[in-house]
């Protein structure tokens, strides 16, 4: 984090327990539910179903000879079936690798360290790197934070934001004060001529922007710096980039808190107890 911050308020770090969907305070043991976990459990992403179906259909059409041969032998049919049904997961993992490499680019720029050779010399990553650098140049971007853990004491949530930036050109385009940190998110899916960026990104960024504290790299905490009510999503693709405005203001944050309440009261609470035993004639109560 390179933005101007106040003195640390606590030395205890939040450590992400990825398999459980929360961050844990190393001193108190208190659990902060992950922002992405809250959204994942309570937002129905309708676009994922047709995307997965299209991915599997495209995979099948591209591999018809293999599928036709496999259909003749029972064991091969099972292998082909399992391979085909995993097509969407394979695509998702590939995109996750690219997204992770893009995040690394931003982090190295924030830290002022060289981009790793495996990323810099990768033919697959070359267009992403070129368009990322073009974005930084076009909009005169100064990154002030990357991959920074933030959290909220009162609502007990935490997450890792993509980046904060300052840019007089972006601030002017958004209509926000130039001295405020502008929150940002990076997306690498979809195509530039399709949507590719969904409303959940604004909810996620708003949760991060309204956090009460930020965590430095040494694990100490500082108050979250003032952020703008609007952020940006950098949609980065091999064919170019788009910079998309996102409302992350108080109204969006209020909706996230409503989801947080649903998650705490229903998804991880009452929903686990409302469906009971199977009844039969021997489970009648006393008359």
Of 34, 17, 3, 12, the closest CA to residue 211 belongs to 34
- In a 10 Å sphere around its CB, with 0-12 CB exposed, 13-18 middle and 19+ buried, how is residue 99 labelled? middle
Instruction: With beta carbons less than 8 A apart as the criterion, state whether 146 and 106 touch.
Output: yes
Burial state string for 161-200 with b = 16 or more CB within 10 A and e = fewer than 16: bbbbbbbeebbeebebeeebbbbbbbbbbbeeeeebbbee
| Model pLDDT, residue 269 | 83
Residues of the chain with pLDDT under 70: 1-12, 44-48, 51, 92-96, 193-196, 283-287
Instruction: With beta carbons less than 8 A apart as the criterion, state whether 213 and 258 touch.
Output: no
| Model pLDDT, residue 1 | 45
Domain residue limits, the chain: 14-283
- The neighbour count for residue 106, using CB atoms within 10 Å, is 22
Of 212, 227, 214, 211, the closest CA to residue 177 belongs to 227
Q: CATH number of 14-283: 3.90.320, 3.40.50, 3.40.190, 3.40.109?
A: 3.90.320
If phi over 0 gives left and psi between -120 and 50 gives alpha, with beta otherwise, what is residue 190? left
Query: How far, in Å, CA of 204 to CA of 70, rounded?
Result: 44
What is the value of pTM for the model shown? 0.80
| Model pLDDT, residue 171 | 98
CA 153 from chain centre, in angstroms, equals 21
* 238: three-class secondary structure by DSSP: coil
């Amino acid at each position: 984090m390179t933005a101007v911050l106040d003195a640390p308020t606590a030395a205890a770090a939040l450590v992400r327990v990825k398999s459980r969907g929360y961050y844990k305070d190393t001193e108190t043991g208190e659990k902060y539910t992950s922002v992405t976990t809250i959204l994942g459990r309570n937002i129905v992403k309708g676009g994922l179903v047709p995307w997965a179906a299209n991915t599997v259909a495209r995979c099948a059409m591209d591999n018809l000879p293999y599928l036709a041969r496999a259909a003749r032998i029972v064991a091969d049919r099972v292998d082909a079936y399992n391979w085909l049904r995993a097509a969407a997961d394979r695509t998702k993992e590939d995109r996750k690798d690219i997204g992770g490499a893009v995040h690394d680019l931003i982090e190295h720029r924030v830290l002022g360290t060289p981009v790793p050779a495996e990323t810099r010399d990768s033919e697959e990553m070359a267009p992403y790197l070129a368009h990322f650098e073009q974005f930084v140049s076009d909009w005169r971007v100064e990154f002030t934070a990357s991959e920074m853990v933030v959290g909220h004491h009162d609502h007990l949530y935490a997450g890792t934001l993509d980046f904060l930036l300052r840019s007089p050109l972006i601030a002017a385009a958004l209509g926000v004060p130039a001295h405020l940190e502008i929150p940002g998110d990076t997306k690498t899916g979809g195509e530039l001529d399709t949507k590719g960026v969904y409303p959940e990104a604004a909810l996620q960024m708003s949760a991060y922007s309204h956090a009460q504290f930020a965590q430095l790299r040494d694990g100490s905490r500082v108050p979250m710096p003032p952020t703008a009510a609007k952020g940006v999503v950098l949609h980065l693709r091999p064919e170019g980039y788009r910079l998309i405005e996102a409302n992350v203001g108080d109204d969006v944050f209020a909706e996230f808190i409503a989801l947080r309440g649903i998650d705490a009261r229903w998804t991880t609470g009452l929903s686990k107890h409302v469906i009971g035993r199977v009844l039969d004639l021997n489970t009648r109560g006393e008359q």
